[in-house]
Chains A and B, each alone.
Chain A
Amino acid sequence: MWRYLIRRLLELVPTLIGVSIAVFLFIHAIPGDPARLAAGQDATMADIQAMRARLGLNHTLPVQYLYFVRNALHGDFGLSFRQQVPVLQVIKEHFLPTLLLSTSAIVIAFAFGLLAGVLAATRRNSMADLVITAFSAAGISIPSFFLGILLIYLFAVNLHWFPVTGSSSVRGLVLPSVSLALAPLATIARFVRSSFLEVAGEDFVRTASSKGLGYAAVTYKHALRNALIPVVTMTGLQFGFLLGGAVVIETVFNYTGLGWLLIQSIGFRDYPVLQVLLLVFALEFMLVNLIVDLTYGALDPRIRYG
């Protein structure tokens, strides 16, 4: 297990280096002179020269990259163009709200997706199955931002149950997390249904019923537990995508998380912040995928890490 973990972490290194190069080059791919942007609107030629030296832009690209990595390892990502404070500080302020939003969304998606999927699978071809199947087809097609706007119209503008803008309070979190949860919920429900039906046809489930175990024991202990393995992977993947989806939902609800910050930074051409945000999102996504792989073994004793 430990050996496997270390191997998986080492395997991430090349991708990580690649991502850091991509993110580093990002700021150089922007049309225009970063020194001029950093120095501000009414900077003189001398200011811009000074800024160029301060940003290390007079070195060659590979040298600049090494400086970038060295500084990054020290937690130094430079200053935000807009606020003139360290980038990491800006990002820290917006990290917790996004974590809160995406976690509550994935909890909703997993709980209700699992419930709906099992319900549909155990009552195959019934009315409930039909409704759930139709719902999950709709769920992956409705854009989250449209759902968000509909929910705002119904529950905030008309019924006044929830505030129009999202916040980290419980009431402020409901509408944005439901909007964000719909697509992964539908995907998970769909996946649980097919995974469950597949497992239900396997030999060990038939063995379990033929040795006289009750319906509940067969369904929940044998079939569901085995059907859950791919579902966990799917949920992890969905959590990763959800991090991307949060960008749109945070904008709809004016929820000041990382996604909101991302769009703001594009608007203000705050490239240092943008650069680190892309890095943070990629890191989170890679980490989630790693955790998903590791959970595998905990659920399926057949998988042994060599």
Chain B
Amino acid sequence: MASVAATPRRERRGQDLWRRFRRHRSGMVGLALTTLFVLMALLGPIVRPYDPAQPDYLNLDAGISAAHWLGTDNYGRDIFSRTLVGARYSLSIGVLATAFSSLIGSLWGLLTGYLGGWFDTLSGRVVDIMLAFPGLLLAIGIIAIAGPGFRNVILATTIFGIPIFARLVRGSALALKERTYVEASQALAASPGRIMFRHVLPNILAPILVYITLRIGTVILIAAALSFLGLGVQPPTPEWGAMLSEAQLYLATDPLMAIAPGVAISLAVLGFNLLGDGLRDVLDPRIR
């Protein structure tokens, strides 16, 4: 429970964690991959060699060349530029949706776990109902109502993630509630809000952080699947899932059209998964 310690110890703990993380080989690979994709998302639209939307009818389905590193697609658009720019869509959906769902879900879980009672029972039912739809079915249902598009994908993946954070945080809050130091603050008449945010929340930040990292990967995967199904970001936007969906028709003549965005999704998701696993091993060896 080092989070209640004074600042100098906390600083030393941070250095200690970093030293342990640096030795975690696959975690470091994950960190490198995610850094690469974050850079792609930030700088991609600036450093891209070609306009990703610009067709070139003299250069349709061209192969790999010095001018076009990954060839061109069925409209002669540069595949490398499109893949580079695509990082911005996938990563912003992954990060935004996970940020929203972790915030809402954690608050919800904290409230239900700490307060208990009929509110807890009722919200447990709501979580059960939301989790009763397997995989991306809940997200598909929301898209069917709200319609496709970038913003609705964020909406759908946010709602999709909320019950998962709510359940995780509720469980941890429930366990922490019985700890002596929480009982001590209750005896000192601290307000429930103070206990929740000063004593309970800081002690479950580690699993939340691990979950957030792993969730970003999952959300990128789900968002790409939605776009692939035509329910997410629409072509000609160079979103990876949408690019894969377009590429299906030209598989025989232009396989690079599919391989480039497919590898990009896989590596981005792999990066967040490895980073999350590494963080878990370093931060909290108990959770598996």
Identify the A interface with B (CB < 8 A): 14-15, 18-19, 22, 26, 29-31, 137-138, 140-143, 145-146, 149-150, 152-153, 157, 194, 240-245, 247-248, 251-252, 262-263, 266-267, 274, 278, 281-282, 284-286
Complex CA gap A266/B258 in Å reads 25
A285 touches B265 (CB 8 A): no
The count of chain B contact residues (Cβ–Cβ below 8 Å) is 43
Q: A18-B128, A137-B26, A153-B255 are in contact. Are A146 and B274 (CB under 8 A)?
A: no
Q: Does B269 belong to the interface (CB within 8 Å)?
A: yes
B129 touches A263 (CB 8 A): no
Q: Which chain B residues in 134-188 approach chain A with CB under 8 Å?
A: 134-137, 140-141, 143-145, 147
Interface SS of chain A: helix
Q: Does B108 belong to the interface (CB within 8 Å)?
A: no
Residue of A nearest to B126 (CB): A18
Q: A143-B221, A143-B224, A149-B251 are in contact. Are A251 and B134 (CB under 8 A)?
A: no
Q: Does B228 belong to the interface (CB within 8 Å)?
A: yes
Report the minimum CB–CB distance from B273 to chain A (whole Å): 6
B266 touches A143 (CB 8 A): yes
Give 30 pairs: A residue, B residue, CB < 8 Å, sorted on A.
Answer: A15-B128, A15-B132, A18-B126, A18-B128, A18-B129, A19-B129, A29-B145, A30-B144, A137-B26, A137-B274, A138-B270, A141-B266, A141-B273, A143-B224, A145-B244, A146-B258, A149-B244, A150-B258, A150-B259, A153-B258, A241-B134, A243-B134, A247-B229, A248-B136, A248-B228, A266-B140, A266-B143, A267-B230, A282-B132, A282-B133
Residue of B nearest to A144 (CB): B225
Complex CA gap A252/B258 in Å reads 13
Report the minimum CB–CB distance from B80 to chain A (whole Å): 18
Known: A142-B266, A247-B229. 14 other contacts (CB 8 A): A14-B125, A30-B144, A137-B26, A137-B274, A143-B225, A143-B269, A145-B225, A243-B135, A244-B135, A248-B225, A263-B231, A278-B133, A285-B132, A286-B132
Residues of chain A lying within 8 A (CB to CB) of residue B141: 26, 278
B134 touches A146 (CB 8 A): no
Complex CA gap A281/B131 in Å reads 12
